Every structure is written in structure tokens, then in C-alpha cells.
Structure 1
Amino acid sequence: MSSTPKGGGGGGGGGGGGVAAAMSGRFFTVGLVTSWYSSNIGVLLLNKYLLSNYGFKYPIFLTMCHMSACSLLSYVAIAWLKLVPLQTLRSRSQFFKISLLSLVFCASVVSGNVSLRYLPVSFNQAVGATTPFFTAVFAYIITVRTEAPLVYAALLPVVTGVVIASGGEPSFHLFGFIMCVGATAARALKSVLQGILLSSEGEKLNSMNLLLYMAPVAVVLLLPATIIMEENVVGKTIALAREDMKILWYLLFNSALAYFVNLTNFLVTKHTSALTLQVLGNAKGAVAVVVSILIFRNPVSVTGMLGYTLTVIGVVLYSEAKKRSSK
């Protein structure tokens, strides 16, 4: 008789353990998403502060600092901490493809950092939300792959919203806008090229291993560009540090945060579904806009906010249309 209550108690304990594990898993996922949001928005705002408000006018050198940190911390995470298994390169051809991706990636990050010198973060994010449009364009040009008519229709509000936001942006700067569009297009081109170049089973790399190989190549590519286009930047940075030591801490923290963006993005991708990631990514841009306006207090117009809202709605519709067309 006494064995029945014990069995029941064990079942209850197992059920309680299952609930506890589910709650623990949920908290872990929320913590990951919060870290992803914080690092993404944090590096964006700190880039803006350094390049625009603080007056550190060296976007290429800043990008090289980011890539140097990504090189070092990727090696530590994979080779020492073994967060993910090390994937080795199989051929020179694979290395060439990764180098090409790294070049496009550099163009994207440098252009994005340059644009932050001239544009508020809120408008920068509005333009960045048009990535699906450029992805669809490059996918068609390079692979001649067409989407369902509903998918293309969903891209109309994406582009229309940015046109409206541009017209209503009080801090509009043409060169900054061109750089921002270039950064968005390069980001889309990288995703399309990555899908093509590393599509075979033998060449596929997870995002952490891809960063491990891309980041050092990026540093090599950015070094001559920094020397030629941002003359004596190291000397100028040292001179700045003599006046204000905080600049070194800003650069170190910002560079480490740039790596943390990639790490948390990988972990969120691993622990959530692709659809959840899309939804979270759409919301992240909106959160970044609100936070940047609260911190930098850049002027915004009703027209600009309406345009950005239309773009976000378009991106959500695009994601939904893509999901339906792939079924």
C-alpha cells in the first residue's frame, strides 16, 4: 500500500522537475535574446557615439579593431573554450570563397560605420530594414531565382517606407544615406554569396567558424585601407588617449561587444527557430530606433516615423510571405 504513494510522489517530483527544466530553458532563452538585443543595440549606439558625438572620425580603424577582437575571441571560444567544434578548411578554393565573403563583409561594416557619422541611428535602422529587398534583388541577379508574386508585393511597403522616411528625416545627409544603402546592399550580397559559395556539404561552416576564418582576412584587408585613408590614426588615437584615457576603454569595450553580437546571434539561432529569429530581428530594429532617440534625442518627424513603421510592417509581411511560399 505504501508503495503507491511513493510512486505517486516520484511522478509528482518528475513532473515538477520537468516544469522546472522548462522554466529554466525559458529563462535561458530570454537571457540569450536579451543579451543579443543589448549587444546589438549597444555596439550600434557606441559606434554612433564614438564616430559622431565623441569625434573619433576613423570608421575604418574602428572596424579593424572590431575584426581584430573577433579574430582573437573567436580563437579563444573555439580552440580553448570549445564552445563549438573546430571546422577546418578543406581547400584553397574554400579559403578564396571565404576571403571574398570577408571583402564584402568589410565593405558592409565600414560603410555602415561611415554612415553613422552623418545619420542618426533611427534613420540608419530604417534604411537597414530594406535588407530583404536587396537580398531578393541579388538572389535574382546572381541565381536567377524568382520568388512568389506575394513575396515581391510585400517588398513594396519596405521600399516605400524608406522613401517616405527619407523625405521626412530632419537630419538627412546624402553621402551618409548613400553609405547606409551601400552597407545594406553589401550585407544582403554577403548572405546571398554565402548561400552559394558555401552550399556544398563539405564546405558548410557554422557562423562561429566562418567568423574565425573571415575576421583575420578582414584585418589584413582593412590594414592598408586604414594606413592610406586614415593617416597616422594610431598616433592620433594615442594623442586622444593622453587627453582622455576613456577612449581606449571605449574602443576595447566596443570591439569586444562586436564579437559578442556574433556570439549571441549564433546562440539565439541555435536555441530558437528561424521564424522566431526573423520576428526578433524585426523587433530589434524598432527597439534600437526608440532607444537611440531617447539617448541622442535626435529630431524625428511624424512623416519619418510613419515611413519607418511602414518599412517594418513590410518586412513582417515579407517574412510571412516567404514562409508561406516555402511550404
Structure 2
Amino acid sequence: MATIVVWLVTGTTMSSLNKWIFAVHNFRYPVLLSSLHMLTAVLVGRPLAGLWASGDGNLGLCPKAKARVLLLSVTFCASVAFGNMGLNYVQLDFAQMVYTTTPLFTLTLSKVLLGKHHHPLQYAAMGPICLGASLSIVGEVQFDHAGCCFLFAATFLRGLKSIQQSTLLQDEHLDSLRLLCLTSLPSFCILFAAALVLEVAPAWDGTLAYGGGLWACLLLSCLGSVLYNLASFSVISLTSALTIHVLGNFNVVGNLVLSHVLFGSHLTVLGYAGVALTLSGVFVYHHCERLAACWCARWARREKEE
């Protein structure tokens, strides 16, 4: 529970802080920001991993596991980059509504790629979760086609990334800190190269005319990303790739409040109805066994009375 609380709090804070950097400080380099997150993970995570291993800094893996780590890094980079690019076009509340469909992508991918089976009510819970997200998107007053495409691409990749993380954490028996160290360096190289080609070279005017407030926000964002990624890996190792995204829908409420307070955005009545429907789906998912037992007991009593 403590790990989940840390993950939820850091996730809500990170989304709002990144949107603040883009909207208020007019920072034009979202992919570069993602690369700085990974660089911070390298600088902070590797010394911590050395201490955690009591001086044994060996992070070596077998060739097959190394290939899976590299593939995870590519997926991670693409999901983060698409998510940050989407935030450049849309409001934070709209982005969170799109992200509520992540459990559906994760459920489908886990079934197709891993052959995992889930409770029938968990499949049924995807209906209100995704329908609620759709209603919220319809009710959102600020819609951008490019931003929506970026966000749905990020959502699909987030589901795939979680399945890859779950496989490495549970099958390869890696701990969260070690996995972060293994993925952060290749992720930084990929994202930094992409930022130089796609953002810095075309957009940089030769000066960085940003104030101290932006640099403070960037530092907080980078440090927060390390804590968020560690908490995310820990939650996946303790639960599953699907559960973390279903739990993540509770971030919707916190981000809606922060988006309204910080950026003045708002949802229509239809949008709030979508949020309520999504959260009801989350409730069904997490209490499927209890709901099924109550339904069976009620049905048995009715048959006995008849």
C-alpha cells in the first residue's frame, strides 16, 4: 500500500509539473526533458544500486535478457516521448482521459502475447472504464487531432512497456532499482539523440533565455521521475502489468483537480460522468471475486425461495 501511494502521488505530481514546464515556461523540448529524466536515473540510480548490492555493482545479464532490456528501453522511450509531445497540444485532463484506456490495451496485449487469463468480471470492467474515457473525451472542450494521436500511441506503448517490465521483474527476478539502472542509460542515449535531431537542431535559436524558475522545475521533474519509475517498477513486481494501469485511473481525479487549479481547464458535465463511469469500472475490476460471490449467493437464495 505504501508503494502504491508513493506511485500515485508522484505520478500526479509529475504530470502536472511537466505540463507546467510546457505551458507556463514555454519549454519547447519535450523529448529532451525525457532524456534528462533518464540521465538523472543514471546519475542517481547506479550509485544507489552499488550501495543496495553492498558493493557488488555487477549489473550483467545473459544475452537474451540484455536484448529484452534494450527492447524495453526502446518502448519506454517511445511511450514517454509520445506522451510529452501530446501534452504540448492538449490539456492535462484530456491526456488523463486518454490514458484511462491503458488497461484495455494491457489486457489485450497480455492475452495475445503472454496467454494470460483473467476473471470474466475483469474483462467486463474494461467496458465502463473505456466507455467512461470515451465520454470524457467527447465532453472535453479542447480537442486536437495531432495531440490525440500522440496520446493514443503513448497509451498503447505504455501497455506494452508494462508487460515487458512485468516479464523482466517477475521472470528474470530483477529488482526495481537494478531494472531502472539497466534501462536508463540506453534510454538516455536514444532520447537524447532524438532530441538533438527533432527538437534542438530545428528549434534552438542559439540562446537559452530561460529563468531560474524553469531550471528549478526541471530539476524537480528529473528527481521526481526517478522516484516515480522506481515506484512503478515496484508496483508491477508486487501486482501485475494490468493492475498498475487500473490503479492508475485514480490519478485521473488528482490530475483533474490540479489541472483546474493550475491551468484553469475544466470538463463538461458529460466529462465528469465519464470519470464516474471509469472509476466504477475500476471498482468492479478490484472487487470481481467479491461481486461474483455476492451475485452467486443472491441467485442461490432466490432459487431456494422459489
Q: How many residues align?
A: 291
Of residues 208, 225, 233, the one that matches 2:194 is 225
- 1:155-207 CA distances to partner (integer Å, 9 max, x unpaired)? 1111111111111101121211121121121111112233345654xx22122
Aligned residue for 2:220?
253
Of residues 277, 282, 291, the one that matches 1:310 is 277
1:142-181 paired onto structure 2 within 5 Å: 142-181=113-152
Query: Are 1:41 and 2:45 matched, yes or no?
Result: no
**Identical counterparts, % of pairs:** 28
Query: CA–CA distance in 1 between the matches of 2:50 and 2:57?
Result: 7
Of residues 219, 244, 251, the one that matches 1:284 is 251
Describe the shift of the 1:316–1:86 C-alpha distance in structure 2 as closer, same or farther (beyond 3 A).
farther
Of residues 137, 153, 162, the one that matches 1:182 is 153
Q: Is the 8 A contact 2:140 2:271 kept in 1?
A: yes
Q: Partner amino acid for 2:263?
A: F
Describe the shift of the 1:127–1:99 C-alpha distance in structure 2 as closer, same or farther (beyond 3 A).
same
Aligned residue for 2:104?
133
Bigger radius of gyration among the two = 1
Query: CA–CA distance in 1 between the matches of 2:226 and 2:64?
Result: 26
Q: Is the 8 A contact 1:86 1:209 kept in 2?
A: no
Query: CA–CA distance in 2 between the matches of 1:100 and 1:228?
Result: 21
Question: 2:287 is paired with a residue of what secondary structure?
Answer: helix
Aligned residue for 2:176?
207
Query: Are 1:321 and 2:288 matched, yes or no?
Result: yes
Question: 1:165 is paired with a residue of what secondary structure?
Answer: helix
Unaligned residue ranges in structure 2 (runs of 5+): 293-306
Query: CA–CA distance in 1 between the matches of 2:271 and 2:216?
Result: 35
TM superposition shift of 1:319: 2.9
TM superposition shift of 1:223: 2.2
Q: Is the 8 A contact 1:169 1:300 kept in 2?
A: yes
Query: CA–CA distance in 1 between the matches of 2:291 and 2:64?
Result: 36
Question: 1:193 is paired with a residue of what secondary structure?
Answer: helix
TM superposition shift of 1:312: 2.1
Describe the shift of the 1:162–1:322 C-alpha distance in structure 2 as closer, same or farther (beyond 3 A).
farther
Describe the shift of the 1:232–1:162 C-alpha distance in structure 2 as closer, same or farther (beyond 3 A).
same
Query: CA–CA distance in 2 between the matches of 1:34 and 1:102?
Result: 25
TM-score normalised per structure 1: 0.77
Query: CA–CA distance in 1 between the matches of 2:248 and 2:231?
Result: 13
Q: Partner amino acid for 1:192?
A: I
Further displaced range: 61-70 or 275-284:
275-284
Q: Partner amino acid for 1:226?
A: A
Describe the shift of the 1:191–1:264 C-alpha distance in structure 2 as closer, same or farther (beyond 3 A).
closer
Aligned residue for 1:60?
31
Unaligned residue ranges in structure 1 (runs of 5+): 1-28
- 1:118-159 CA distances to partner (integer Å, 9 max, x unpaired)? 222122122212221111111122234343432221111111
Q: Is the 8 A contact 2:59 2:182 kept in 1?
A: no
TM-score normalised per structure 2: 0.82
Describe the shift of the 1:95–1:324 C-alpha distance in structure 2 as closer, same or farther (beyond 3 A).
farther
